[in-house]
Amino acid sequence: MTSDKRAEPIRAVKGTRDLLPPETSSWQKVEDEARSVFHAYNFREVRTPIIERTELFARSVGADTDIVTKEMYTFEDRDHESLTLRPEATASVVRASIEHGLLNEGGAHKLYYMGPMFRRERPQKGRYRQFYQIGAEVLGSDHPAIDAEVLEMLLLFLERVGLRSFTLLLNSVGDSKCRPEYVKALRRALESVKSTMCPDCQRRAETNPLRVLDCKVEADQPIIAKLPSILDHLCPECRQHFDRVLAELKQRGIPYEITPRLVRGLDYYTRTTFEITSGALGAQNALLGGGRYDGLSEMIGGPPAPGIGFSIGEDRLVLAVEEAARGKEASTPGSNDAALAAYVAWLGDAALGPASELARQLRREGLSVEIGYEPTKLKKSMGIASKLGARFAIIIGDGELASGRYQVKDMTAGQQEEVEPARIASYLKNRSQDSAIQHYETVTPDLDP
Ligand code: HAM
């Protein structure tokens, strides 16, 4: 028996999304720009697995953080080992560097990555359960100039992708010497006010008072604003490090806003922490976050190895870039999907072979070419070429086969020329030099002061 009833469609999992063209071209553009800028600073790519042992994140991100207590996708594998879909990649990069002996080699290791991360947060615009990060980490140096260089690279990248208005928030969270004293002071201050705070803060006031500063509950904010500042509790070494970072930033002309409550939601941070926020993003305004993590390697069983890095939320970056492009048409970062160079239209069975041979040749020359395989009338073919945005249409029929010269039609200017097949690739390249084919312009607008 047959039934007309269709099966229930299966939809993407809540908080995940399909990225489709043409949007994927904005993603490629920012990824290409990241690779190019990171390469200029001598960073090389690392790709780590998406699943890791749960313990990696419990030890590094911290057992009492929101990420570990509420947001991780953790499951028991068939051999009863607890595994987790990575909620972030810094711990993985450090784990991989330890595992492959990179940290024993001395010198600074500069690594970058891009890929999906998973956190079971409440989905909204700019916040997803599968989201993407572009990140970079420097392992093996605690020099303040490295902190400034990492920020310098970040700002160059944001400038390159066309982002102009954003704010760099900066802080120091001290180190294992001075932070315990600060945490004690925080605990004391929380004693008298914690009962008026949200249940999470009441718990954190006992277990991990620093995390109180991450609280997003509106009613708690005036209380948090009055808590002691970590910047008043830095030891002389951390103070000196922070002052030197600020001096290095000033020297590079990088504007920043010191934000003493910026402790970041992960436990591995020491000294410098930062975030960049963008007004274009609405509620989820943190475009990226990062900082120093000088003790992280030891936390996960490695040798002492100071480190600093950042992760950009790529979903948010693309939103902000598109928003910025809308506001300033002239600086539209442009599509990374090079425009279609040519549509090959063939008429009559005899033309199909030569037409597909021509398409093959042009594609091998790096030109973006489309060809249809269904027999189609000329008028309809031109309609398709125009709909696809092809710069040229190449027409091959009996006449062209007889003369050995194909018709190449400029779809913008409307004129048509006969060109020998072997010359078509160079003809298209020469004629399209000023157009968008294969190229997109890099936009470098001024940074807001
Ligand atoms: P994070 O602040 O947890 O830091 O995440 C960095 C960025 O990832 C955020 O600023 C945001 O743009 C993006 N992000 C986080 N969660 C989501 C989400 N649910 N949906 C969309 N975007 C999101 C880290 O992950 C550290 N690993 C940064 C770091 C690198 N520190 C040192 N090195």
Tell me which residue has its CA closest to atom 11 in ligand 1: 313
The pLDDT assigned to 283 comes to: 78
Residue 160, phi then psi, degrees to nearest 5: -65, -35
- Structure token pair of residue 437: 């084919």
Residue from 38, 311, 321 whose mutation best tests the ligand 1 pocket (most atoms within 8 A of CB)? 311
Is the CB of 241 within 6 Å of ligand 1?
Answer: no
Q: How far apart are CA 309 and CA 111, in angstroms?
A: 9
Q: For residue 87, how far is its CA from the centre of ligand 1 (angstroms)? A: 9
DSSP 127: B
Per-residue pLDDT at 5: 83
**More confident: 329 or 392:** 392
200 C-beta closer than 6 A to ligand 1: no
What number is the average pLDDT over the span 289-298? 97
Catalogue the E-assigned strands of 214-254.
Answer: none
Q: Provide the token pair at 286.
A: 């943190």
Residue-wise pLDDT tens digits, 45-94: 999 999 999 999 999 999 888 899 999 999 999 999 999 999 999 999 99
- 197 Cβ contact partners less than 8 Å away, ≥ 6 residues apart: 190, 205, 212, 215, 217, 220, 223
Residue 25, phi then psi, degrees to nearest 5? -70, -35
For residue 3, the model assigns a pLDDT of 60
Ligand 1 center–CA 77 separation, angstroms = 26
Q: Is 294 in the pocket of ligand 1 (CB under 6 A)?
A: no
Is the CB of 127 within 6 Å of ligand 1? Answer: yes
Mean pLDDT (whole number) for 228-236: 96
Neighbours of 321 (CB within 10 A): 23
Measured from the CB, is residue 314 less than 6 Å from ligand 1? no
Q: Of the given ranges (272-286, 386-400, 430-444), which has the lowest mean pLDDT?
A: 430-444
**Lowest-confidence segment of 3-7, 291-295, 360-364, 386-390 by average pLDDT:** 3-7
Residue type, 311: S
Our measurement of the distance from residue 351's CA atom to the centroid of its chain's CA atoms, rounded to an integer in Å, reads 46
Q: Would the pLDDT of 117 be above 60?
A: yes
Mean pLDDT of 22-38: 96
In the block, tokens 């997803």 appear at 128
Q: Is the pLDDT of residue 277 over 60?
A: yes
The residue assigned the tokens 């031109």 is 382
Q: What is the pLDDT of residue 256?
A: 97
Cα(157)–Cα(444) distance, rounded to whole angstroms?
Answer: 10
188-213 tens-digit pLDDT: 999 999 999 999 999 989 988 998 99
pLDDT of residue 104: 82
Determine the pLDDT at residue 190.
95
Handedness of CA 438, 317, 264, 178 (dihedral sign): positive
Centre of ligand 1 to C-alpha 266, Å, is 10
How far, in Å, from the CA of 269 to the mean position of ligand 1? 13
The average pLDDT across 406-411 equals 97
Q: Tell me, what's the pLDDT at 338?
A: 65
118 in ligand 1 pocket by Cβ < 6 Å? no
User: What is the rounded CA–CA span in Å between residue 412 and residue 432?
Assistant: 11
> Cβ(128) to ligand 1 under 6 A?
yes
H-only helix segments in 273-348:
296-299, 314-327
Average pLDDT value for residue range 163-171: 94
Cβ of 131 less than 6 Å from ligand 1: yes
Contact 56, 93 (CB under 8 A): no
Q: Which pLDDT score is estimated for 240?
A: 98
Q: Give the mean pLDDT of 150-165.
A: 95
3-state secondary structure of 277: strand
Instruction: Return the best residue to mutate from 72, 132, 133 for the ligand 1 pocket (most ligand atoms within 8 A of CB).
Output: 133
Q: What is the pLDDT of residues 240-250, one digit of tens each?
A: 999 999 999 99
What amino acid is encoded at 425 in this protein? A
Q: Strand (E) positions, 24-173?
A: 44-45, 51-53, 73-76, 82-85, 109-118, 130-139, 167-172
88 lines ligand 1 (CB under 6 A): yes
> Taking residues 162-171, what's their average pLDDT?
94
Beta bridge mates, 186: none
Segment 146-175 shows an average pLDDT of 95
Residue 399 has pLDDT above 70, yes or no: yes
Whether 359 shows a pLDDT value over 80: the answer reads yes
Residue-level pLDDT at 136 = 98
Verify whether ligand 1 is closer than 6 Å to residue 291 (CB atom): yes
Is residue 445 over pLDDT 50?
no
Q: Kindly state if the Cβ of 333 falls inside 6 Å of ligand 1.
A: no
Q: What is the pLDDT of residues 296-337, one digit of tens each?
A: 999 999 999 999 999 999 999 999 999 888 876 444 444 456
| Confidence at 448, pLDDT banded by 50, 70, 90 | very low
Report the b/e string of 67-88 with b at 16+ CB within 10 A: bbeebbeeeeeeeeeebbbbbb
Task: In whole angstroms, give the CA distance from residue 356 to residue 377.
Answer: 17
The number of helix segments (H) and strand segments (E) in the chain equals 15, 16
Model pLDDT, residue 447: 35
